[in-house]
Every structure is written in structure tokens, then in C-alpha cells.
Amino acid sequence: MRTISQRELRNDNAEIMRAVEAGESFVVTRNGTTIAVVRPISDAEVMAGLPLARAGEPADYRSWPRVKTATDTANVLAELRDER
């Protein structure tokens, strides 16, 4: 993971976003202090459509949408156990 300054992120934004799109991650610093991580978002995160929590903040799971499936939990567990 490459470390870049906030200024570098601002000045080379397009190049850095292309690198992120290609799978690279960056730690962003301001005055030598780490302030962010810029990384590709996984397909699972996109598909889930769940809000992303900030570092250090507890996630409020109650606000997440409920997921309904055609299969009940007992059948899912039975299927998983058969795959072992």
C-alpha cells in the first residue's frame, strides 16, 4: 500500500483513481498524519448496498436493510453442512 499526501491526491487524482480501479490501495496523509485509505471497493460491498462505517465508529446494524430469501435458514445451514 503506497503512502501519498493529500496534495498528491488532489494534484494526481485521475492517475490515482486509475490505479485504484486497477486494484491498488493508498494511505493518504496530511502533515504526516494518516487521514484516509483509498482502496477499491469489493463487489460484495457494492452488491450489499450497505452503508460503510468510518474507522472507529460502531456500525448501526439496525439501519441496514433486511434481506429476504426464498430459502429458509434451516435449509441454508443443511446445504452448507453437506458441502463439508
Domains and CATH numbers, the chain: 2-82 (3.40.1620.10)
Q: Which of 21, 59, 58 is nearest to 39 (CA)?
A: 21
Q: Which of 1, 31, 24, 37 is nearest to 15 (CA)?
A: 24
Q: Say what the pLDDT of residue 12 is.
A: 96
**Those residues with Cβ within 8 angstroms of residue 13's Cβ, 6 or more apart along the chain or in another chain:** none
Query: What amino acid is encoded at 64 in this protein?
Result: W
Predicted TM-score (pTM) of the model is: 0.53
The neighbour count for residue 16, using CB atoms within 10 Å, is 19
What secondary structure letter does DSSP report for 3? E
φ/ψ of 60, rounded to 5, equals: -95, 90
Q: What is the pLDDT along the chain (84 residues), one digit of tens a residue?
A: 999 999 999 999 999 999 999 999 999 999 999 999 999 988 777 667 666 666 677 777 787 777 777 888 888 888 888 864
